[in-house]
Amino acid sequence: MRIKLDPADLHPSFRPFRDYLITMVPIIALSTYVYGWRVLVMLGISAAVAVVSDIINALLRKNTLDLSDLSSITMAWIFTLLLPASVSYTVLITGACITVFIGKHAFGGYGSYPFNPAAFGFAFTAVSYHDDVFSYPAVFSKVPLAWKPEVELFRSPLYTINQGAIPKVSTTDLLLGEYNGPVGTTFCIVALSCLVLLIVHNAMTWHIPAAFMATFSAIAFAFPRIQITRTESLIMELVCGLVPFSAAYLVSEPSSSPRNGTAKLLYGVVLGAMTMVFKRYSTYEGAICFALILCSPIGSFLDRKLTGSAGKEVENS
């Protein structure tokens, strides 16, 4: 195994994922303020798992370990922010390993995996450890650093919506992220600000997030799942459904999303519609992750049809 770090020849993932990591800082800071130091410990563990996975892959395949490839750590962090602050470290380590070693390296590494590794890791973890993944500590509970902390756990407002009931959470608390949910996805205003920054800095284009959110919003408004006004139902679906966070960090992942502009728009529409289908007919709360896994081949198909090429090159999107 050789180690490479050449500032003049950086890995293709360096620039977009550097921006991803930078924009995650305020989300991580807020999460740490709300839940305590355990958030940073979780991120440290998942980053370590990502690095070890990269090293093992390089040793097994006798490849060069490029230290400027930031995709593994970024995917591990995105996966971690989708979990509750109280999750067992066993679940965290297992999921991070699945995310990086299986979701990324088993398919050939950056540029070769067919779907978003973080979504794949979360979907696997959600199915395997349902109760651990979808039970959350109370906001501002300062979760202990224990391997599996003994704290009182609650269901999220999204769980209540999935049962056809109305969550007892004010709109203000929803917008500020002061409700039970995944450690990094409840701060919707911050996530949307990060999305804008990523687009402005060309870490991604606007096509997929805009089409995804517009389609999701249109369906949520037209077919409300709970008996309140359409506008109130739409706000709850947007805020409680991981949508802003997913729009910023999941749907436009550079390697697994389409490259052609029209393909991106169509892909975003299909993804938004499929997410609503999963939300309506599935018992799992992370509908976007399951929709991403199912829709990724559609993105590749649209790319081939609209560009007329048999494949696609990885580039910043």
pLDDT interval class at 7 (50, 70, 90)? confident
Most confident stretch, 121-125, 159-163, 174-178, 277-281: 121-125
Q: Which token pair is 161?
A: 């919506």
pLDDT interval class at 315 (50, 70, 90)? very low
Please name the amino acid found at residue 61: R
Residue 52 above 70 pLDDT? yes
Buried b (16+ CB within 10 A) or exposed e, 291-316: bbbbbbebbbebbbebeeeeebeeee
Average pLDDT (289-293) is: 91
Among residues of the chain, what percentage have pLDDT more than 70? 96
Average pLDDT (145-156) is: 91
Half-sphere exposure of 274 (CA within 13 A, CB side): 18
User: What per-residue confidence (pLDDT) applies to 31?
Assistant: 94
Average pLDDT (217-245) is: 87
Give me the residue label for tokens 């052609």: 260
Q: Which residue has the higher pLDDT, 175 or 50?
A: 50
**Residue 2, helix vs strand vs coil:** strand
Taking alpha carbons only, the member of 58, 24, 67, 18 closest to residue 43 is 24
Average pLDDT (196-205) is: 92
Residue spans per domain, the chain: 2-307
pLDDT interval class at 93 (50, 70, 90)? very high
The answer, as to whether pTM is greater than 0.85, is: yes
Q: Which token pair is 295?
A: 């829709």
**Phi, psi angle pair for 64, to nearest 5°:** -85, 135
User: What per-residue confidence (pLDDT) applies to 62?
Assistant: 85
User: What per-residue confidence (pLDDT) applies to 125?
Assistant: 95
Q: Which token pair is 83?
A: 């979990």
Average pLDDT of the chain, as a whole number: 88
Give me the DSSP letters along 4-66. Answer: E--TTS--TTHHHHHHHHHHHHHHHHHHHHHH-THHHHHHHHHHHHHHHHHHHHHHHHT-EEE
| pLDDT per residue as tens digits for the range 182-193 | 999 989 899 999
Taking alpha carbons only, the member of 47, 46, 63, 78 closest to residue 2 is 63
pLDDT interval class at 216 (50, 70, 90)? very high
Right CATH for 2-307 from 1.20.1260, 1.10.3430, 3.10.310, 3.40.50:
1.10.3430
User: What per-residue confidence (pLDDT) applies to 314?
Assistant: 42
Longest dimension (CA), the chain: 60
User: What per-residue confidence (pLDDT) applies to 92?
Assistant: 97
Q: Which token pair is 124?
A: 């696997």
* Pairwise CA distance, residues 246 & 244, whole Å: 5
List, in sequence order, every beta strand (DSSP E) within the chain.
2-4, 64-66, 136-137, 153-154
User: What per-residue confidence (pLDDT) applies to 312?
Assistant: 41
* Pairwise CA distance, residues 51 & 71, whole Å: 10
Average pLDDT (23-36) is: 94
pLDDT interval class at 117 (50, 70, 90)? very high
Q: Which residue has the higher pLDDT, 2 or 139?
A: 139
User: What per-residue confidence (pLDDT) applies to 1?
Assistant: 66
| pLDDT per residue as tens digits for the range 242-273 | 899 999 999 988 888 888 888 999 999 999 99
* Pairwise CA distance, residues 119 & 117, whole Å: 5
Buried b (16+ CB within 10 A) or exposed e, 203-242: bbbbbbbbbbbebbbebbeeebbbeeeeeebbbbbbbbbb
* Pairwise CA distance, residues 269 & 316, whole Å: 21
Average pLDDT (22-30) is: 95
* Pairwise CA distance, residues 262 & 301, whole Å: 12
Looking at the DSSP bridge assignments, the partners of residue 65 are 3
Average pLDDT (103-129) is: 91
Average pLDDT (223-236) is: 86
User: What per-residue confidence (pLDDT) applies to 308?
Assistant: 62
